[in-house]
A = this chain, B = another copy of it.
Amino acid sequence: MRTSIATVCLSGTLTQKLHACAEAGFDGVEIFEPDLVAAPESPEEIAALAHRLGLSLDLYQPFRDAEGVSDESFAAVLHRARSKFRLMRRLGIDTMLVCSNVATATVDDDEHSAAQLRRLGDEAAPYGVRLAFEALAWGRYVDDYRRAWRITELADHPNVGVCLDSFHILSRGHDPAAIEDIPGEKIFFLQLADAPALTMDVLSWSRHHRLFPGEGAFDLSRFVGHVLAAGYRGPLSLEVFNDTFRQTDVLRTAQQAKRSLRWLEDQVARRSGRLSRPGGPERLPDVDQPTGFDFVEVKAEDAGEVDTLLRQLGFTFRGRHRSKPVRLWAHGPARVVCNENLAREWPPTLAAVGFEVTDPKAATQRAGELEAPPVFRRTYAGEQPLPAFRAPDGTEVFLSGAGDGEPAWVAEFESDDAGVGAEEPLLTGIDHVNLAEPWQSFDEAVLFYSSVLALRSGSSQDVAAPTGLVRSQVIRGENGAVRLALNVAPLAYDHPRGFPQHVAFASSDVMLAARTARARGLRSLPIPGNYYDDLAARFDLPAGLVEEMRELGVLYDRDENGDFLHFYTETIGGVFFEVTQRRGGYDGYGAPNAAVRLAAQHVHDQRLGRR
């Protein structure tokens, strides 16, 4: 489908925005008036630049406070409108967004508003301008798209139609089904925005917290389905006011925006089979959710301390890569690659995550259609090429075929001391991976991981660290085979990437794993005695168990289905490990313990003079 985007979504100057939109592959843009007013280029220059870039100028917006005014005030509206129609002719734009009145309306009457819109339509017609009337969620009298359509019907003018904006409709909880009552040719424009589920005044929510489709909580595929069913054939256009996107790299944000529309188109196509037609929404390649983690990779100039930690956790050294300074460790199906290739000055860092997928070819094609940037690297894959993409946070995401035995790439690792540590497996795989996200790209990362890997994103929560609140959001498969926790560090955090990251292994007996690791010399993260006193107060646990947890630094949580035991290693550079045990149907991540862990890491680092 054709795609468009309002310039207000992006940072920079108007010309920078146009260049970025073209580069990201948009077909057109909406010109947000303040962007034009603040631009030194003349309207003719802007029109010529857009033409050269292959961008259509789809909408001029917004024209405010047009209807519902007194007859005396309407003269000034007409003066303003004519001036803007002349400007639109200079720009070559044929559609103007007219918002429902917020500031100057004094007449709450459909006929009155309709008459004024009709008059504006008469004025617009000679300029070839069409007016798309939109109900703002906070309009003085008109705050519902159904009323905006009623007024438009009454205006009964070929140059007057409606604009539908998903935010204004869904934020108010209005049922979008009645969109299908509007003739498609009278829907002059469609604006799309997602948003997180917040309870706040709708104006602030709209101005600061809109998101691109797939990043928030709105059901946009249903919404667009209604609009397409009504017969709308114009572009899918994004209008997202977001405090973060206003200050992030203009091209990256434009690419993120484009990805969100591609994802949405797929969702719409899947939901509304009846809408499939030439030019209609197209599906992405069908993929299943990943069936598990293939491996994680720690990159470091010197990964020696990580090797030690893995050995203490019971991992078996599986060998060196035949051609690169890369080592493989395994424990049951949990595989960790230590990569010292091209890693000069890298502290130990979680650099790559491999996912097992049922159809790597389709998954790769899907990632490509979502414009995930490919990574050309074959570090440990050697002759076994694994497709890989770079996530917004810099993590390299590898896709490999799910199979019964070990993946083929493992054979590229040659060992001279295989078997060391090959005892009874205490770890049963990778439970989850915890990634640090720069604040600038958090929403982008949510969209990336959930759209490229076909995962589901949950709601976010805050955890208190000594240096501020950490925002955390889980992205996971339906069956829990793959779980990612995305975390945004407090701004003041001084680690280059924000935060240390970690890999949580699954265990069938975390107490035994902790005791065995300790016997091998592991220093687990020290947990305060006060934590165990509190644990004993909160839960009716056997005193012996609490004492054993205290001794081993094991933490505890419980939900309505089961319980959770886990411990942490010390941090090496930017990475640490966790060992977890889910009992019963426990489905969380020990969130109530996260603040204790963060404080313990902070104190531990301070004692060692690391901050």
Contact = CB atoms under 8 A, between A and B. Distances in A.
A528 B531 CA distance: 62
Interface stretch (A241-249, A317-325, A327-335): A241-249
Interface residues of A, number: 60
Interface in A308-366: none
Given A38-B595, A76-B540, A469 B246 contact: yes
The prevalent SS among residues of A at the interface is: helix
Contacts of A37: 528, 530-531, 534, 596
A12 B536 contact: no
A246 B34 contact: no
A491 interface: yes
Interface string A198-235: 11110010011000000000000000000000000000
A11 B467 contact: yes
Contacts of A36: 530
Contacts of A87: 533, 537
Nearest to A34: B595
A509 B198 CA distance: 49
Nearest to A15: B603
Interface string A64-92: 00000000000010011001100100000
Contacts of A598: 38
A530 B43 contact: yes
Nearest to A530: B37
A128 interface: no
A530 B199 CA distance: 38
Interface string A11-25: 111000000000000
Contacts of A529: 40, 42
B13 A537 contact: no
A538 B492 contact: no
Copies per assembly: 2
A448 to B, nearest CB: 20
A467 B247 contact: yes
Interface string A425-451: 000000000000001100000000000
Interface in A18-74: 33-34, 36-43
A40 B603 contact: yes
Contacts of A246: 464, 467-469, 490
A528 B603 contact: no
Contacts of A243: 468-469
Contacts of A41: 528
8 contacts: A33-B534, A37-B534, A38-B530, A40-B529, A80-B538, A84-B537, A243-B469, A248-B492
Contacts of A200: 198-201, 204
Contacts of A40: 526, 528-529, 600, 603
Contact of A599 (B39, B439, B606): B39
A470 to B, nearest CB: 10
A324 to B, nearest CB: 37
A602 interface: yes
